[in-house]
């Protein structure tokens, strides 16, 4: 997860921004990743039925909130520092890829993909299909989407102002979520907006 890149020991020369390969700002609120959950996110997480898998947990904002409220949760991320920070916040976390061997396969009641994490790997249908395989029967995915009118696209991105090269990524607009959901055999349930952000519940 790109949020995991916000943990180098050296301070950045500039405030980090998520940009595409051409340097265009993608408008993702990078500063949010190391904070605490917002009121709107708290409402979303009320939909999270335990056990919860936080995919691309980054510094552990979501996993820590759930763990603090007694919800059985596991954060996963490919970055060692992200896992360390999540554990320091009091939530369990493992350094694994969602596309690798994840504990509890086919038993997770809820998976969470916030902060642009539907873009992980640059292939939303493949990611959703993989996450669906991790869910228990009748499980759900809570996912953040781009605003209406945003075209769904695949691209390469990097964090401007931090070390590291480009990574494959994707954006899915709220208008375009049905196609990748259908491809992964998921039903689009509720779709809503709060705090200027768009979310959906995808049901297995």
Confidence of residue 33 (pLDDT cuts 50, 70, 90): low
pTM score of the predicted model: 0.86
The CATH class, in words, for 2-7+23-203 is: alpha beta
Helical segments of 69-199, H only = 80-88, 124-134, 178-183
Question: What tokens appear for 184 in the block?
Answer: 């992964």
Instruction: Write down the domain spans for the chain.
Output: 2-7+23-203
Answer yes or no: is pLDDT of 14 > 50: no
- Specify the DSSP element, H or E, that contains 112: strand 108-113
pLDDT of residue 174: 97
Distance CA 132, CA 181 (A): 10
Answer yes or no: is pLDDT of 151 > 50: yes
Confidence of residue 140 (pLDDT cuts 50, 70, 90): very high
Q: Residue 71: which residues within 8 A CB-CB, separation 6 or more?
A: 48, 50, 52
pLDDT digits (tens, 9 = 90+) for 85-110: 999 999 999 999 999 999 999 999 99
Answer yes or no: is pLDDT of 51 > 70: yes
């Amino acid at each position: 997860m790109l949020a995991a890149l916000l943990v180098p020991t050296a301070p950045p020369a500039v405030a980090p921004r998520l940009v595409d390969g051409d340097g265009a700002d993608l408008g993702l609120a990078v500063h949010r990743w190391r904070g605490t959950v917002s009121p709107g996110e708290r409402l979303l997480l009320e939909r999270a039925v335990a056990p919860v898998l936080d995919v691309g947990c980054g510094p552990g904002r979501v996993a820590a909130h759930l763990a603090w409220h007694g919800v059985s949760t596991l954060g996963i991320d490919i970055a060692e520092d992200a896992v360390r920070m999540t554990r320091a916040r009091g939530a369990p976390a493992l350094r694994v890829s969602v596309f690798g061997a994840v504990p509890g396969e086919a038993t997770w009641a809820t998976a969470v993909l916030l902060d642009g994490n539907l873009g992980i790997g640059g292939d939303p249908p493949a990611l959703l299909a993989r996450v669906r395989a991790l869910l228990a029967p009748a499980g759900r995915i809570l996912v953040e989407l781009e605003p209406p009118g945003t075209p769904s696209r695949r691209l390469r991105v990097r964090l401007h102002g931090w070390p590291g090269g480009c990574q494959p990524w994707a954006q899915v607009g709220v208008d375009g979520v049905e196609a990748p959901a259908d491809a992964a055999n998921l039903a689009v349930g509720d779709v809503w907006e709060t705090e200027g952000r768009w979310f959906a519940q995808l049901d297995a």
